[in-house]
Copies of this chain bind each other. A is one copy, B any other.
Amino acid sequence: MEPRREAVRDNRQMGEFELLAKLRERLGTPGPRVRLGSGDDAAVTAPSGATATSVDAVVDGVHFRRTAASPAQIGHKALATALSDLAAMGAEAGEAYVAIGLPEDLGEEDCLRLIDGMLHLAQGTGTTLAGGDVTRSPVLALAVTVVGHAAAAEDFVSRAGARPGDVLVLTGELGGASAGLKLLENPGLAAGLPGDVAEHLRRRQLEPQPRLASGRALAAAGARAMIDLSDGLGSDASHLAAASGVRLEINATALPVAAGLAAIAHGAGADPLRLASAGGEDYELLAALPPARLEEASTRVAATGEAKLSRIGRVVGGAGVEIRLPDGGLLPADGFDQLGQGRPGRATP
């Protein structure tokens, strides 16, 4: 369709080609598999084995708010959520392709800061930003496609291989991103909390860290099934259970919970275990392992320096997920639904 020719406010001096040229200047050296980088009709790569590819979109007002997150944090989060899917495959991060929908009131400097936030994470994870598209949009939105690598297709860990008898393990801590969101929405909840604890919780929401090294460590330690926690433990565990055709028994008292979560939950009138198990966006990894490999997996994950591995339950025959409380009650296995319906608050039977 015709370009929209009405006056624009902040980035009107900058056309698409000019912005793309400025973005390309920042990209740095492409990774070893990239033969032709950004700037042509397509990027050319020469994969040496199998690839894992995933796409994730984030939209202002749904996954972030421009009022709460800096442009660099928005760029970081858009790439981090996509890379988290590669972590859950046990993949080595390779290339990222980014479509950005730019609203007219986002200035040139903010566009570049957004890309810089993405590039900082890309460099830290060995990801090449190999291509992109920039277009006008009424709302800031980013769709990030990431490609990860492994020597062979069999080296990737799907959601489907868990077997009865496996142990369930989890990297890191739960609930930090949800608590961080509550803090951003209601800064008064930080009262009494040490400043570094509050800041850590906000960063869990605004700057999630994909567990790429942990994912590869778990794959190397024989993980049979793996998923990243974007929608919440209950919801994502249900996907793994369904894909594997098994039942997951999770011990609520074994769940590692972020420091400060209990205080935030208390202040917000929320149940801390519920916040930890149903709150999304922690981007930790849930994996099923043969029990004999548990110690090796813990050692390998600890060696990454990313997170500690916790044993949180086991795989049994059947279907569904239960998150069992000390009194024998069950937490509902629900989570975040991107289309905004939420899930009915049901306890898995």
Binding site for B on A (CB under 8 A): 1-6, 8, 11-12, 14-17, 19, 35-36, 39-47, 49-59, 61-65, 85-86, 88-89, 91, 95, 97-102, 104, 130-139, 141, 143, 145, 147-148, 152-153, 156, 158-160, 181, 226-228, 243, 281, 336-343
27 of the cross-chain contacts (CB-CB < 8 Å) are A1-B62, A1-B65, A1-B181, A12-B341, A15-B343, A19-B339, A35-B50, A40-B159, A41-B85, A41-B88, A41-B228, A43-B52, A44-B153, A46-B50, A46-B152, A47-B47, A53-B95, A53-B145, A54-B97, A55-B98, A56-B133, A57-B101, A63-B135, A133-B143, A134-B338, A137-B141, A143-B145
Assess whether A44 is in contact with B52, with CB atoms less than 8 Å apart.
yes
Given contacts A137-B59, A181-B1, contact A42 B143 (CB under 8 A): no
- Other-chain contact of A53, B50, B131, B337 (Cβ < 8 Å): B131
Assess whether A136 is in contact with B339, with CB atoms less than 8 Å apart.
yes
Contact residues in B for A45 (Cβ distance below 8 Å)? 50-51, 53, 153
Protomer copies: 2
- Interchain CA distance A95-B156 in the complex, whole Å: 18
Residue from A15, A40, A64 having most chain B Cβ neighbours under 10 A: A40
Nearest 3 pairs of A and B residues by beta carbon: A143-B143, A99-B143, A42-B54
Assess whether B41 is in contact with A89, with CB atoms less than 8 Å apart.
yes
Contact residues in B for A44 (Cβ distance below 8 Å)? 50-52, 89, 153, 156, 158
- Interchain CA distance A340-B9 in the complex, whole Å: 12
Measured CB to CB, the closest approach of chain B to A176, in angstroms, equals 14
Contact residues in B for A50 (Cβ distance below 8 Å)? 35, 44-47
Contact residues in B for A147 (Cβ distance below 8 Å)? 53
Assess whether A3 is in contact with B133, with CB atoms less than 8 Å apart.
no
CB closest residue in chain B, given A182: B2
- Other-chain contact of A55, B6, B40, B133, B337 (Cβ < 8 Å): B133
